Amino acid sequence: MAEIYLKKLAHSYLPNPQKPEDYALKEIDQVWEDGKAYALLGSSGCGKSTLLNIISGLLTPSQGQVLFDGQEVTQLPTEQRQIAQVFQFPVVYDTMTVYDNLAFPLRNRKQDEASIKTRVAEIADMLELTADLKKKARGLTADAKQKISLGRGLVRQDVAAILFDEPLTVIDPHLKWLLRMQLKALHQRLNRTMIYVTHDQTEALTFADQVVVMYDGYVVQIGTPQELFERPEHTFVGYFIGSPGMNVLPVSLEGATAYLNGQSLALTTRYISQPGDKLELGIRPEFTQLSPIPSAHSLTVTIKRIEDIGRHKIARADYQGREINIVIPEDQPVSVDYKYLTLDPRHIHLYANGWRLKQEASA
Amino acid sequence: MNKTWNNKAWWMVLPVVLLVAFSAVIPLMTVVNYSVQDTFGNNQFFWAGLQWFEEIVNSERFHDALGRQFLFSGIILLIEIPLGIFIAMNMPKKGWSISVCLVLMSLPLLIPWNVVGTIWQIFGRVDIGLLGAAANKLGIDYNYTRDIGDAWFTVIIMDVWHWTSLVALLCYAGLQSIPEAYYQAARIDGASKWAIFRYIQLPKMRGVLLIAVLLRFMDSFMIYTEPFVVTGGGPGNATTFLSIDLVKMAIGQFDLGPAAAFSLVYFLIILLLSWVFYTIMTNLDKQER
Amino acid sequence: MSLTLERVSKVVERDTYIYPTDLHLEAGSLNVLLGPTLSGKTSLMRLMAGLDLPSTGRVLWQGQDVTGKPVQERNIAMVYQQFINYPSMSVYENIASPLRIRGLKRQALDQRVQAAAELLKLTPMLQRKPLELSGGQQQRCALARALVKEADLVLLDEPLANLDYKLREELREELPRIFTASGAVFVYATTEPTEALLLGGQTATLWEGRLTQFAPTLEVYRQPNSMTTARVFSDPPMNFLQLSKQGNQLKFDTGETLQASGGLTNLADTVYSLGFRPNHLSLAPTSPDALSFQVTVTVVEISGSESFVHLKHGEQRWVALLSGIHEPAPNTGLTAYVDPKHLYVFAADGSLISLSTHPERLRN
């Protein structure tokens, strides 16, 4: 177990990077705490795999250092870094039994069979694999294979961090729930540092203590799932997290009042903005409400479609050429006549050039 | 389903059926015809029943040739398969050197059989051959026309030279299909080179290895041209393999009846072995699933 | 236009891929095949397309028997999970390829290609090669090719499975509109219940080669006809428990005994399975009728706006999906509540028993 310090780290796949665009991973300087669960979240090509490969030792960064518990490991190859990894597609030793698979890393490290036996039994019990120990790994289902890959990391006492590279890709939805929950329970029990790379927000948010949202090589925000949901620092985070993502509308600002094409909206506080900033208002679909009766600050919208997805409904509305999504709880009525939209002022955020505006010190 | 399929499709198969009939079935029937008859020339044939078969199956000459054949195939498999795997594992994984390597490796495969034989026949000659002359200059008594051991050595080395690259290329294709994640996982698990070979590369190569063994076994079991050109089956009968013996019998001695029976027995042995291999392969395949 | 399967089955050696299945799909309809991996989605699609010959039964197209008619002679388009395009052709040529085969005049061809590209937002990259595009764009190119073909039957086999979550969300929203407008019969296979709900249309649930229910998507979701369908069509997984009813008493497999309430009072005395969705399990009573259960917290997952509280009820694993942030510590004992109107009651054979309160669920 270890704390991971990414010191002034950046990477470019080009030999002589000049511009920021040349970098697949822009400079970061961060400490990831020992025993916590982190998720790297972003769409493909955002740099999350580059970062994972730097941590695992597959890639040497073009700039900066990686430190595990203060020890520099930047130049060390994977096998000397004391990490474990679970890959996108299950990697098991087909010809071995489940027991031998789990014992493999310990046998390679020349541990005695008796201690291997107790350790494997312990881990198999945790992963609910005890019944399968004598079976050949080849015949097992994808989720059992993924548990074996994880188990090979868990049997070792010396592992600094366990890395997960989209581990649930090939798992069926109903088993995803079970496996993810078991993973989470294991983390709470073992307190190992875990790093989980994914493009799936549900996986990232439910698994991690801290989610690292990446976009175009930048780390855009690091925070708890709740922070990312309630206070997205960038419109990208707002869009990327949440289904559907945050509604973003261009506004103009005057003290504590925002103007949406002339319609005024009262805000809870005043914001400071620079002239020339591109100002936008962000509000999550969950914090909007449709009503058949107009109110003081309601927007008049046209409901284009109402999608009932079982546990809630999503209304797709049009407000002066812009699409606004509204989430309506299962037990609330809605129809196309509900054309007055109110935004909960406590959950309105203002963004200048994409970044969240800080509120003015209480005026 | 009692619906009839499109019958036109059968016409498409007709050319192949005709081709196979002319190239395989009709000649085979001729051989069967010869194998149960005796002739003293003048196109006069006498019914001989299974006499030739009994003679062949019980003859020492056939047993010896069969023994030599199995020994030869066994030795070349024992050399070519491990050597092929070894070469494949040491071939470059990326870059321009792959193509250079592949071209060099395929060269022996492109040379006609009789040319391979001629190359080694000359290469091993004591008077002018690079190998033969050099060995003798170094004081090694090497002469494949006199010494049985030297003759076997030459024939085996020639086959290894000719065919190991086929095994290597097949294994290389097998190795290339192993995803990088497996190697990475093994490194993380602290696996030694041997463990990586034993638990990742070998299991993943098993399919191609079976094909390589099958191809090499069948091919070597039917070998004719190369040893015939180099040693002519000698010294004595030391390198007279089944096919060489068969030709001696049929064309050298013109014993058409026994030779026909010989070739049918030969054919049946190959068929049997192919069936054994096929069964093993399909069974292993089922286990896989 | 319509596609009908009559007692169609597929057996290969000793394995039954599809048990005898009846299905009728209308033109302009979007039909979702929902089921886990290996439940028979792809097998069923191959039978519909004529790529495979059924072991029994007939395939009818507009009432005409087309069983055994090869796929080349039917007007069918198929999109796969893998992004399949011609790598050496430009996006434009890829989209145009089915029209070239048909020998369309250049002007008409250009018009159709441009229209399809516009619809799938590919106009800026028409001259690029597929491999220079992102995964989402590659799949849109494959979709455009299927669309431009104006096929009678369009089969989409998990087309979004290899795409990023967010991209999937966007395409999912667009797909139903793009496809139903063209008037063909659409079949869309997926493993994800949420995807089926977002697509709407009709859903056929599949489990181990059997089609368990086929009806409008929301109806299947709200009124699953069996425990199997309910299990296939739930994400997060549905919660279950065993119940035996004796008079006014409900005895549960954990030893708990409760007073029958709501629609449960009308049930005959015997053994049942109860099922309810995670979003209907709450940690505070929602109605006076609510049944209460003693549960233990195992893990809590927080998605930002919602909390998934994993619970143990006896030996059963349950999930409660609560809105807002709730973080009870693991191993805490809690009382969980379910309103009887949200309960599904299944008979011993797994079939749904309709309670008097159920029609209400269909309405809301």
What is the spatial order of strands in the sheet that A355-356 belongs to? A247-250, A279-283, A349-352, A355-356
- Domain total in chain A: 2
Domain co-membership, A90 together with A162: yes
Q: What is the Cα–Cα distance from C159 to C144, expressed in whole angstroms?
A: 12
Please indicate whether, in this complex, the C-beta atoms of A78 and B185 are within 8 angstroms of each other. no
Strand partners, A91: none
Domain co-membership, A22 together with A64: yes
Domain co-membership, A301 together with A253: yes
Provide the pLDDT confidence category of residue A363 given band limits of 50, 70 and 90.
very low
Query: C-alpha B9: how far from its chain's center?
Result: 36
Min distance B2 CA to chain A CA atoms (Å) = 37
The verdict on residue B2 lying in a domain is: no
Identify all chain C residues contacting B3, using CB atoms and an 8 Å cutoff. 67-68
Identify all chain B residues contacting C69, using CB atoms and an 8 Å cutoff. none
Min distance B93 CA to chain A CA atoms (Å) = 17
Residue A362 predicted with pLDDT over 70: no
Question: DSSP per residue over C20-36, as a string?
Answer: EEEEEEETT-EEEEE--
- Fold classification of C2-232 (topology level): Rossmann fold (3.40.50)
Residue with tokens 């708990």: C256
Residue where one domain finishes, among candidates A207, A236, A265: A236
Residue with tokens 């049942």: C272
- Domain total in chain B: 1
Low-confidence ranges of chain B (pLDDT < 70): 1-7, 40-42, 285-289
What number does CATH give the domain C239-363?
A: 2.40.50.140
List the domain boundaries for chain C. 2-232, 239-363
The verdict on residue B261 lying in a domain is: yes
Residue where one domain finishes, among candidates A178, A210, A236: A236
Q: CB-based contact (8 Å) between B96 and chain C?
A: no
Q: CB-based contact (8 Å) between C53 and chain B?
A: yes
Residue C22 predicted with pLDDT over 90: yes
Residue with tokens 């395949």: B285
Identify all chain A residues contacting B177, using CB atoms and an 8 Å cutoff. none
Give A69-107 pLDDT, tens digit per residue: 888 899 988 888 888 899 988 999 988 999 999 999 999
DSSP state at residue C351: B
Domain of residue B232, residue span = 61-288
Provide the pLDDT confidence category of residue A138 given band limits of 50, 70 and 90.
confident
**pLDDT value, residue A17:** 83
Identify all chain C residues contacting A240, using CB atoms and an 8 Å cutoff. 166
Closest to A89 measured CA to CA, from A39, A164, A154: A164
Q: What is the Cα–Cα distance from A349 to B117, expressed in whole angstroms?
A: 84
Provide the percentage of residues in chain C whose pLDDT is more than 90: 41
Helix (H, G, I), strand (E, B), or coil: what is residue C114? helix
Min distance B206 CA to chain A CA atoms (Å) = 11
Domain co-membership, A171 together with A111: yes
Provide the percentage of residues in chain A whose pLDDT is more than 70: 99
Domain co-membership, A147 together with A190: yes
Q: Residue A66: is it exposed, middle or buried by C-beta count within 10 angstroms (0-12/13-18/19+)? A: buried
What stretches of chain C show up as alpha helix (H) in DSSP? 41-49, 91-101, 106-119, 135-148, 165-180, 193-199, 217-222, 227-232, 358-363
Please indicate whether, in this complex, the C-beta atoms of C364 and A331 are within 8 angstroms of each other. yes
Q: What is the Cα–Cα distance from C114 to B207, expressed in whole angstroms?
A: 47
The verdict on residue A65 lying in a domain is: yes
Report the residue of chain B nearest C56, measured CA to CA: B1
Q: CB-based contact (8 Å) between C36 and chain B?
A: no
Domain co-membership, A231 together with A109: yes
Q: CB-based contact (8 Å) between B13 and chain C?
A: no
**pLDDT value, residue B76:** 93
Q: CB-based contact (8 Å) between C64 and chain A?
A: no
What stretches of B177-231 show up as alpha helix (H) in DSSP? 180-188, 193-196, 202-221, 225-230
**pLDDT value, residue B5:** 55
Report the residue from B190, B192, B199 with minimal CB separation from A96: B199
The CATH number of the domain holding residue B118 is 1.10.3720.10
Mean pLDDT for all residues in chain A = 89
Q: Do residues C215 and C202 make contact, with C-beta atoms less than 8 angstroms apart?
A: yes
Domain co-membership, A208 together with A252: no
Domain co-membership, A108 together with A197: yes
The CATH number of the domain holding residue A305 is 2.40.50.140
Domain of residue A99, residue span = 4-236
Q: Mutate which of B178, B184, B188, B289 to test chain A, going by most A C-beta atoms within 10 A?
A: B188
Give A273-319 pLDDT, tens digit per residue: 788 888 999 999 999 999 999 988 889 999 998 988 888 999 999 99
Report the residue from A177, A180, A240 with minimal CB separation from C166: A240
Q: Do residues A282 and A267 make contact, with C-beta atoms less than 8 angstroms apart?
A: no
The verdict on residue A241 lying in a domain is: no
The verdict on residue B7 lying in a domain is: no
**pLDDT value, residue B1:** 42
Give C141-153 pLDDT, tens digit per residue: 998 898 888 888 9
Provide the pLDDT confidence category of residue C361 given band limits of 50, 70 and 90.
very low
**pLDDT value, residue C360:** 43
Domain co-membership, A253 together with A225: no
Give A196-249 pLDDT, tens digit per residue: 999 999 999 999 999 999 998 899 999 999 999 999 999 999 999 988 899 999
Q: CB-based contact (8 Å) between A309 and chain C?
A: yes
Give A46-68 pLDDT, tens digit per residue: 888 889 999 988 889 999 999 99
Provide the pLDDT confidence category of residue A1 given band limits of 50, 70 and 90.
low
Q: What is the Cα–Cα distance from C339 to A197, expressed in whole angstroms?
A: 39
DSSP state at residue C175: H
Residue with tokens 């006199």: B146
Q: CB-based contact (8 Å) between C254 and chain B?
A: no
Cα distances (angstroms) measured from residue C132 to each of A205, A215, C129 = 32, 20, 6
Please indicate whether, in this complex, the C-beta atoms of A87 and B190 are within 8 angstroms of each other. no
Residue A153 predicted with pLDDT over 50: yes
Min distance A132 CA to chain B CA atoms (Å) = 17
Angle at C113 between CA C107 and CA C115, to 5 degrees: 100
Report the residue of chain C nearest A142, measured CA to CA: C37
Residue with tokens 């990312």: A228
Rounded to two decimals, the ipTM of the complex is 0.86
Report the residue of chain B nearest C67, measured CA to CA: B3
**pLDDT value, residue B41:** 66
Provide the percentage of residues in chain A whose pLDDT is more than 90: 44
Residue C63 predicted with pLDDT over 60: yes
**Which two structure tokens, joined as six digits, stand for A121?**
């039994």
**pLDDT value, residue C23:** 93
Identify all chain A residues contacting B284, using CB atoms and an 8 Å cutoff. none
B-contacting chains (≥3 CB pairs under 8 Å): A, C
